[in-house]
């Protein structure tokens, strides 16, 4: 219950931020966020892990819709990304949790520490990425091509890893 | 070991791919920031995921217990690689309950660590119970990959039924040649006085009855009954049973058989067993504690197996049914094949007693209508069947759940006394 509640709160915070900073497409941001939260709540209640990525996707789409018409890069996107990850992790934790299994306390502490560590590293990486994007914003075609290649390469690596596992 | 990906892996991979491609299409760096944490989690999770090298074994403190007793069990688990989260579940068969300890349990194993998880189990029901398998499910630190395996060892817990201590048993009509506790009808070397007769050459002096000799003016000697053992065959009908909730006629029959075997073995009688049902089991008569254990061990494997094959008494090996043996049948008299076999035994002049383990308490009488009439006809037909057996000279007593076996045996003894007098 605690993890489920925290997941909904964190995703709600991300959605609220998206709505509060939204431009002319504020209703779209609101709808995306609301649908994401509802979908996550349904997924947790019915123990459907497949709904979690969709909830994250809807909330992320709401955020993106809110950024429509704003040319400046939002620095807080780093925190929003981490919030989405934390919400997804907590929701998965809640869905996986089985009250019949007696867990050792050390296991709980370790999982919490792993999640906190992952969130911190992800936040750091996100800030670095956004800082790099800000620096390279006017760098020209070459860097843009390198960025595209890096993105495609990252997707390829991820798909390869998934296929191998 | 079976490996599969958790739903999280596909979800995160899809989000990452979609986010990065979306960032390229829309030219929004924020989308990279939204996606990067999922990409990072995937990269870290898959890099840290190492297949666990688990060894699992299930051990029992004791392999033989009495019904209702508690026994310690342990699952020993070790791994050569670190396992961030390991779920262990020991599957308990029906008839074995968890008295103390956690099952299932989640734990963490460091590389080379060995853990022993202790459980206390309660043997709730008689029988041979195969414990396990013990299932193990390991996950990587971020839960992207799952490995599942089961322990190869499955120890057997043999739970013996708690038997009633019987003070008196049904005495066989005929005795055998070896010494025992039963006073034989024939005359011979023994303690029990039988008669006196005229002295004959070769009679020892210690057997001379001096009082009778003085009165009659010639030598008379005492005759006695020897103490001999008997052969008892316990016939368990396992063609069909009536069961309701956790109890059934087979349970009662098995418990009674164990009690009877114990009582007869204590009398130094030879005890044999015939499990007459879908699967035919038999045990040649023998004596002693070892034979008692053999009988009880054979009983543990008794179960109702559906069979349409028409079995007659001929399928039983002849050595299992020695001449002059007392056959005590424990049957719910539900299957025509077992009833036929009992009548056949009687026709072959076996000394037969039948304990009718009544299925009636395990049934519910319908409240009305044609069902109630059918039920009443069924009970009447059961009475008729008992009378038919009695007319054939078989001592039959109905045993209902809750009544002591001793009382049922007394009923059988009473019938046999009456039948014997009637024959004379």
Inter-chain CB proximity B34 and A107 less than 8 Å: no
A113-119: which pairs have CB atoms within 8 A and are 24 or more residues apart?
A114/B141, A114/B142, A115/A86, A115/A89, A115/A90, A118/A85, A118/A89, A118/B37, A118/B40, A118/B41, A118/B44, A118/B142, A119/A82, A119/A85, A119/A86, A119/B37
Inter-chain CB proximity A102 and B141 less than 8 Å: no
CB B190 within 8 A of CB B184: yes
Q: Can you give the pLDDT at residue B141?
A: 87
Closest by CA to B99, choosing from B71, B129, B120, is: B120
The band of B424, judged by pLDDT with boundaries at 50, 70 and 90, is very low
CB A74 within 8 A of CB A21: yes
Inter-chain CB proximity B38 and A67 less than 8 Å: no
Inter-chain CB proximity A130 and B33 less than 8 Å: yes
For residues A72 and B145, which has the higher predicted lDDT (pLDDT)?
Answer: B145
Which residues of chain A does B33 touch, with a Cβ-Cβ cutoff of 8 Å?
A: 77-78, 80-81, 126, 129-130
Q: Can you give the pLDDT at residue A20?
A: 84
The mean per-residue pLDDT over the stretch B63-69 comes to: 89
DSSP β-bridge partners for residue B402: none
Question: What values do phi and psi take at B167, rounded to 5?
Answer: -85, -35
Cis-peptide, bond into residue B203, ω within 30° of zero: no
Q: Can you give the pLDDT at residue B421?
A: 47
Closest by CA to A36, choosing from A75, A66, A72, A73, is: A66
The band of B198, judged by pLDDT with boundaries at 50, 70 and 90, is very high
To the nearest whole Å, the CA of B306 is away from the closest chain A CA by: 36
Q: Can you give the pLDDT at residue A143?
A: 65
For chain B, give the mean pLDDT. Answer: 87
Closest by CA to A112, choosing from B318, B141, B18, is: B141
Q: Can you give the pLDDT at residue B374?
A: 95
Tens digits of residue pLDDT in A85-129: 999 999 999 998 888 888 888 888 988 999 999 999 999 988 888
Q: Can you give the pLDDT at residue B121?
A: 93
E strand residue ranges, B373-415: 395-399
- Between CA B317 and CA B310 the distance in angstroms is 16
Q: A48-52, B23-27, B325-329: which range is least confident on average?
A: B23-27
Inter-chain CB proximity B49 and A165 less than 8 Å: yes
* Chain B touched by A18 (CB under 8 Å): no
Q: Can you give the pLDDT at residue A136?
A: 56
Interface predicted TM-score of the whole assembly (ipTM), two decimals: 0.87
Q: Can you give the pLDDT at residue A162?
A: 62
Inter-chain CB proximity B44 and A118 less than 8 Å: yes
Say if residue B422's pLDDT is above 60: no
* Chain B touched by A138 (CB under 8 Å): no
Handedness of CA B183, B188, B190, B191 (dihedral sign): positive
**CB within 8 Å of chain A, chain B residues 196-235:** none
Tens digits of residue pLDDT in B362-389: 999 999 889 999 999 999 999 999 999 9
Best of A55, A155, A160, A163 to substitute, by most chain B Cβ atoms within 10 angstroms, is A155
Beta-carbon neighbour count of residue A121 at 10 Å? 15
To the nearest whole Å, the CA of B366 is away from the closest chain A CA by: 40
Query: What is the percentage of chain B residues whose pLDDT exceeds 90?
Result: 33
Give the nearest chain A residue to B25 (CA atoms): A148
Query: What is the percentage of chain B residues whose pLDDT exceeds 70?
Result: 97
Say if residue A72's pLDDT is above 90: no
Q: Which two tokens stand for residue B317?
A: 């090996």
Handedness of CA B77, B81, B82, B83 (dihedral sign): negative
Tens digits of residue pLDDT in B75-134: 999 988 888 899 999 999 988 999 988 888 999 888 888 989 898 999 988 888 888 788
* Chain A touched by B86 (CB under 8 Å): no
**CB within 8 Å of chain A, chain B residues 13-32:** 13-24, 26, 28-32
Query: What is the percentage of chain A residues whose pLDDT exceeds 70?
Result: 85
Across A86-102, b (16+ Cβ under 10 Å) vs e yields: bbbbbbbbbbbeeeebe
DSSP symbols for B235-288: EEEES---EETTEEHHHHHHHHHHHHHHHHHHTT-EEEEEEEESS-EEEEEE-S
Q: pTM score, two decimals?
A: 0.72
Beta-carbon neighbour count of residue B411 at 10 Å? 16
Which residues of chain A does B19 touch, with a Cβ-Cβ cutoff of 8 Å?
A: 60
Q: Can you give the pLDDT at residue A158?
A: 66
Say if residue B283's pLDDT is above 60: yes
- Between CA B210 and CA B214 the distance in angstroms is 6
Inter-chain CB proximity A151 and B11 less than 8 Å: no
- Residue B145, classed as helix, strand or coil, is strand
**CB within 8 Å of chain B, chain A residues 47-76:** 49-50, 52-53, 56-57, 60, 63-64, 67, 73-74
Q: Can you give the pLDDT at residue A89?
A: 92
Question: What values do phi and psi take at B17, rounded to 5?
Answer: -60, -45
Q: Can you give the pLDDT at residue A141?
A: 67
E strand residue ranges, A75-152: 102-103
For residues B319 and B365, which has the higher predicted lDDT (pLDDT)?
Answer: B365
- Between CA B152 and CA B131 the distance in angstroms is 11
Q: Can you give the pLDDT at residue A91?
A: 93
Q: A25-29, A42-46, B376-380: which range is least confident on average?
A: A25-29
Residue that the structure tokens 């971020």 belong to: B142
- Which class for B119: exposed (0-12), middle (13-18), buried (19 or more C-beta within 10 A)? buried
Tens digits of residue pLDDT in B224-278: 888 888 899 999 998 888 988 878 899 899 999 999 999 999 888 899 999 888 7
Q: Can you give the pLDDT at residue B181?
A: 78
Termini Cα distance of chain B: 75
For chain A, give the mean pLDDT. Answer: 83
Chain A and chain B share a number of CB contacts under 8 A equal to: 154
């Amino acid at each position: 219950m605690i993890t489920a509640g925290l997941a909904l709160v964190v995703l709600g915070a991300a959605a609220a931020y998206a709505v509060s900073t939204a431009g002319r497409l504020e209703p779209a941001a609101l709808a995306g966020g609301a649908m994401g939260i509802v979908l996550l709540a349904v997924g947790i209640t019915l123990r459907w892990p497949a709904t979690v990525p969709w909830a994250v996707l809807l909330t992320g789409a709401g955020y993106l819709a809110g950024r429509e018409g704003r040319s400046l890069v939002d620095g807080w996107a780093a925190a929003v990304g981490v919030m989405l990850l934390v919400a997804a992790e907590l929701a998965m934790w809640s869905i996986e949790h089985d009250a019949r299994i007696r867990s050792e306390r050390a296991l709980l502490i370790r999982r919490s520490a792993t999640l906190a560590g992952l969130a911190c590293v992800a936040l750091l990486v996100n800030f670095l990425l956004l800082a790099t994007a800000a620096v390279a914003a006017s760098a020209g075609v070459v860097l843009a091509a390198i960025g595209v290649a890096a993105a495609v390469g990252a997707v390829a690596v991820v798909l390869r890893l998934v296929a191998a596992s | 070991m079976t490996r599969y990906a958790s739903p999280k892996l596909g979800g995160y991979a899809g989000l990452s791919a979609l986010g990065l491609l979306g960032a390229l299409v829309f030219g929004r760096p924020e989308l990279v920031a939204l996606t990067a944490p999922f990409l990072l989690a995937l990269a870290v999770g898959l890099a840290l995921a190492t297949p666990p090298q688990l060894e699992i074994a299930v051990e029992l403190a004791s392999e033989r217990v009495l019904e209702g007793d508690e026994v310690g069990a342990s699952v020993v688990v070790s791994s050569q690689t670190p396992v961030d989260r390991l779920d262990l579940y020991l599957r308990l068969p029906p008839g074995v309950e968890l008295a103390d300890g956690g099952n299932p349990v989640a734990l963490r194993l460091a590389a080379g660590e060995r853990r022993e998880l202790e459980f206390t189990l309660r043997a709730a029901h008689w029988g041979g119970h195969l414990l396990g398998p013990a299932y193990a499910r390991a996950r990587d630190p971020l839960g992207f990959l799952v490995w599942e395996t089961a322990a190869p060892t499955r120890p057997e817990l043999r739970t013996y039924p708690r038997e009633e201590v019987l003070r008196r048993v049904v005495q066989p009509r005929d005795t055998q040649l070896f010494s025992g506790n039963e006073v034989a009808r024939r005359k011979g070397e023994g303690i029990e006085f039988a008669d006196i007769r005229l002295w004959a050459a070769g009679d020892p002096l210690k057997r001379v009855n001096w009082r009778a000799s003085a009165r009659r003016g010639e030598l008379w000697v005492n005759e006695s009954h020897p103490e001999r053992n008997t052969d008892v065959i316990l016939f368990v009908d396992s063609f069909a049973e009536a069961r309701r909730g956790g109890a059934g006629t087979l349970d009662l029959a098995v418990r009674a058989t164990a009690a009877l075997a114990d009582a007869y073995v204590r009398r130094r009688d030879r005890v044999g067993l015939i499990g007459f049902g879908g699967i035919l089991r038999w045990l040649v008569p023998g004596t002693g504690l070892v034979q008692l254990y053999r009988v009880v061990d054979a009983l543990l494997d008794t179960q109702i197996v559906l069979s349409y094959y028409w079995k007659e008494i001929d399928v039983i090996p002849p050595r299992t049914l020695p001449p002059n043996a007392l056959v005590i049948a424990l049957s719910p008299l539900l299957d025509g094949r077992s009833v036929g076999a009992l009548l056949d035994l009687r026709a072959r002049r076996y000394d037969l007693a039948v304990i009718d383990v009544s299925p009636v308490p395990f049934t519910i009488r319908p409240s009305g209508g044609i069902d109630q009439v059918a039920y009443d006809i069924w009970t009447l037909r059961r009475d008729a069947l008992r009378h038919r057996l009695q007319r054939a000279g078989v001592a039959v007593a109905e045993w209902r759940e809750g009544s002591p076996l001793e009382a049922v045996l007394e009923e059988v003894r009473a019938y046999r006394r009456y039948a014997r007098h009637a024959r004379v």
